[in-house]
Structure 1
């Protein structure tokens, strides 16, 4: 099977990056938004919840729509809507309008991630798919590093509304990149109607699959071990580590370096290591990172670089295992890759929403509680993977 052109990974990564950009870019502006809109910290935190709740709901539909109308049409429409939603946020006169704009962003922001995964499986399988998925994740991983830096610069130069104007421009750029460079990868003969009964059966089949839920759950819980720190970045960096609004890079740049390195290694071992081995090594690395994180938080005062170093190791192991876990989940339903990708994203973002709305505010009060939260997420993700392996061993015995 021929290799994909280099620009395809870049376009797919840019489409997926709309998610972290929607979250990370405006994190440094929480205080400024609260002052401008006379909103409490909890009300500002709920702008994240508004985004994630609609994001989680709509990712159930992006894949089904892409299975019906094709990959390009859904991506073009979603990115255009995202650009419009970002303008609503930029012009919001009250916190309620900002909630509305963020919710509208959430309805469209997940399409790039969901449909992009389906495009990869439309084009490739096996080691080729893992390499392309790893390449996309490697480029995509840069987004969480540069997003808060861009947000901090825009906040300083032009105020918090400029951040959402930037997101509107980014959405418009993605419309152009999709139209210009992304081919349609789903032939008409492979498309599925949006019949309610057929859709219900398809969703029930995917979400009722124990193997799928375990694999998708492992991805989601592993990611939330790091995402907890993303959501808690203002408290972790500014309150506990004593850093300023322009210094969010102390967390995001090293963490993203871990993600880039893990994704690169995943692509390198594709075709040489079995997926289960790649995943197991990733979990082992994350376990070491979690142990170090808890120990450091318990015995040392918060500071650099020791409070951030375990997070870097965690993101390395997470990114090493994630492409293989994702592809194993999608391969369970080769005829409905778009819908399966939607279901995987629904599970992930649903857990993200709970973390954003409930767990992060409960855990961000100290480095030790954050470390314990990371350990808990990894524990649940590890149990899910172990249960899947045991089920697979039982089937092959």
Structure 2
């Protein structure tokens, strides 16, 4: 029986369910990073071909967001979420049966599409039920819980990959999807009001929702700010195996601990952000997060200028870089959804689509300029941060002009 809105456990329950929903993709990405060399040996291909399964995931997730947002406005959040979880789970069940890396690519695309379908509804559930700063606070809390997925995912993935085999990682993802499917079907209420559920959508209506979004200059500026800020994260994720395991020669068993440090600071800053939102505007907190991230990017870039980069400096910069996102993503998302509540599903879809397409493109740049050093990684992360800060400056300037 779905949880009722007037239940005293309503907020705690939906927060946990939505955090699990948004954890689907971090789990699908981070569990198998340390097992990429094992998969490369299994399929007798180079590790770069295994890494393609990661970039394919980004693209599939973006497409899932693109179609899922408007469809959730028309058919309901819960129906789309359950459909996405189903696609995600079925592809995870089939993945261990693959005999070629190309089959993995196809199934990863399907898994990502399902993940995008499901995840795009998470923040829209929140926007349907709450507004104003409460959206930013809920987004931060969900993000804080969600970040435990990257904390435990490398640990689970390394253990399963090393002790059993890479196939066990996808068995785990399938099991997670089954549990989430059951919880959503029986406990999650529908948040979209019945009179707003058209149960149909034409191509004109579909595109029209995105046109409404694109006509809002403030929303577009915030969208691009978020996309460039988050792109730096995916530059690191895509390159983390090379950075830590090959360049710095760290043992696979400590790979999860290196990831854990990122998550710990991210959760800590998310908690600080949530407390400070009681006193400061969402825009101010977003600005602080962007400046912290820029500082981290500068530290990383300067360190990678050296022929032999210092592990401790690069590692510290990465931790601060990813930690600062605890003050960026939730605030930016809330600001966008509060601007356009009438098309919140499509607005949230635009966030996911733009973020993952940008990550797909930007995450591939270091590979194009690969020279055996960390400089392409450091330079790309710095450029992403500079562009994000500049775009946000234009947004802040427009807000000031409107107030004046």
Question: Normalization by structure 1: what TM-score?
Answer: 0.95
Which of 182, 191, 203 lines up with 2:210 in the alignment? 203
By how many angstroms is 1:393 displaced?
1.7
Task: Determine whether 1:334 maps to 2:341.
Answer: yes
* 341-350 or 327-336, larger mean C-alpha shift: 327-336
Question: Contact (CA 8 Å) 2:64, 2:114: kept in 1 or not?
Answer: yes
1:163 maps to: 169
Deviates more, 1:323-332 or 1:150-159: 323-332
Aligned to 2:149: 143
RMSD value over aligned CA atoms? 1.9
* Aligned equivalent of 1:232: 239
Q: How many residues align?
A: 397
Q: Deviations over 1:67-109 (max 9, x none)?
A: 1111111111110111101122111111121111111111101
Deviation at 1:113, TM superposition (A): 2.5
In 2: Cα distance, 1:292 partner to 1:96 partner: 38
Residue in 2 that maps onto 1:24: 30
Task: Name the counterpart of 1:100.
Answer: 106
**Following TM superposition, by how much is the alpha carbon of 1:181 offset from its aligned partner in structure 2, in angstroms?**
2.6
1:183 alignment counterpart: 189
> Residue 12 of structure 2 corresponds to which residue in structure 1?
6
Q: Distance in 2 between matches of 1:244 and 1:194?
A: 52
CA–CA distance in structure 2, aligned partners of residues 360 and 328 of structure 1: 34
TM-aligned CA deviation for residue 235 of structure 1? 0.5
Of 390, 393, 402 in structure 2, the residue corresponding to residue 395 of structure 1 is 402
- Superposed CA deviations along residues 300-341 of structure 1, whole A, max 9, x for unmatched, are 844543321112222232211222211111122111111111
Q: What is the deviation of 1:271?
A: 3.0
C-alpha separation between the residues in 2 aligned to 1:347 and 1:26?
24
Query: Could you tell me how far apart the structure 2 residues matched to 1:81 and 1:255 are?
Result: 30
- Residues 26 and 138 of structure 1: is their aligned pair in 2 closer, same or farther, counting only changes over 3 Å? same
1:240–1:302 contact (8 Å) kept in structure 2: no
Cα distance in 2 for partners of 1:362, 1:163 equals 31
Q: CA deviation at 1:360?
A: 4.6
1:82 equivalent in structure 2: 88
Q: State the shift of 1:131 in Å.
A: 1.5
- Structure 1: gaps spanning 5 or more residues: none
State how far apart, in whole Å, the 2-side matches of 1:250 and 1:158 are: 20
Unaligned runs of 5+ in 2: none
SS of equivalent residue, structure 1 residue 183: coil
Measure the CA separation in 1 of the matches of 2:133 and 2:372: 43
* 1:345 Cα deviation after fit: 0.7
For the residues of structure 2 that align with 1:82 and 1:146, how far apart are their CA atoms? 19
Normalising by the residue count of structure 2, what TM-score does the alignment of the two structures yield? Answer: 0.93
Note if contact 1:12-1:112 (Cα within 8 Å) is conserved in structure 2: no
Worse-superposed segment, 188-197 or 354-363: 354-363
SS of match in other structure, 2:313 = coil
